[in-house]
């Protein structure tokens, strides 16, 4: 289901970058936790996953530079980050990337099933705002799934 390059990619220094959850600090005042990034084990360079860059940029754009210190969880805003957070917090994966890939695939499918049920209820209630919000959440997972299917 998910390609191996979701978990590993090459860094400009030649090292291997692996996926994990990271905390970003914005303007020395705001900590954004649970951001899925690739990190290089050789040079320590990190970069957000391509599929979340747009949403992360949107979140940063909404932050007011004058606001006091605060802490935000990106996983509360992005379905893909939320799925990864839940899977990674489940613990160790003795089967390596294969087991991790399977667990992420199952978690994504479970989240899609729940969101489709929520969307169906929103349709029955004719709640347009709820339908729009749920559709947006579904599209975050669909975009990631499409990128991994390439």
Model pTM? 0.79
DSSP classification of residue 32: E
Phi-psi region of 14 (alpha: psi -120 to 50; beta: other; left: phi over 0): left
**Residue 38's closest CA among 8, 80, 83?**
8
The per-residue pLDDT for 31 is: 93
- pLDDT exceeds cutoff 80 at 78: yes
Model pLDDT for residues 49-67, shown as the tens digit of each residue: 988 999 999 998 888 766 6
- Residues 49, 37: Cα–Cα separation, whole Å: 5
The per-residue pLDDT for 2 is: 38
- pLDDT exceeds cutoff 60 at 145: no
The per-residue pLDDT for 85 is: 94
Element (H, E) at 25: strand 16-26
- Residues 2, 34: Cα–Cα separation, whole Å: 20
Categorize the per-residue pLDDT at 5 as very low, low, confident or very high, splitting at 50, 70 and 90. Answer: low
- Residues 72, 57: Cα–Cα separation, whole Å: 14
Q: Identify the weakest region by mean pLDDT among 101-105, 107-111, 140-144.
A: 140-144
Cα 6 to Cα 9, 77, 107, 143, 150, distances in angstroms: 8, 20, 15, 13, 11
Instruction: Please state the rounded mean pLDDT for residues 80-102.
Output: 84
| More confident: 106 or 148 | 106
């Amino acid at each position: 289901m998910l390609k191996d390059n979701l978990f590993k990619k090459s860094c400009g220094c030649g090292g291997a970058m692996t996926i994990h959850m990271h905390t970003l600090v914005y303007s020395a005042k705001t900590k954004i936790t649970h951001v899925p990034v690739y990190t290089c084990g050789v040079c320590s360079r990190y970069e957000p996953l391509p599929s979340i860059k747009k949403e992360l940029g949107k979140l940063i754009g909404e932050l007011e530079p004058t606001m006091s210190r605060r802490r935000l969880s990106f996983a509360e805003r992005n379905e893909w980050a939320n799925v990864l957070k839940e899977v990674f917090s489940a613990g160790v994966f003795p089967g390596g990337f294969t087991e991790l890939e399977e667990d992420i695939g199952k978690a994504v499918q479970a989240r899609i099933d729940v969101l489709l049920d929520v969307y169906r209820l929103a349709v029955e209630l004719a709640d347009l705002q709820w339908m729009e919000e749920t559709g947006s959440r579904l599209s975050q997972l669909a975009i990631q799934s499409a990128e991994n299917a390439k």
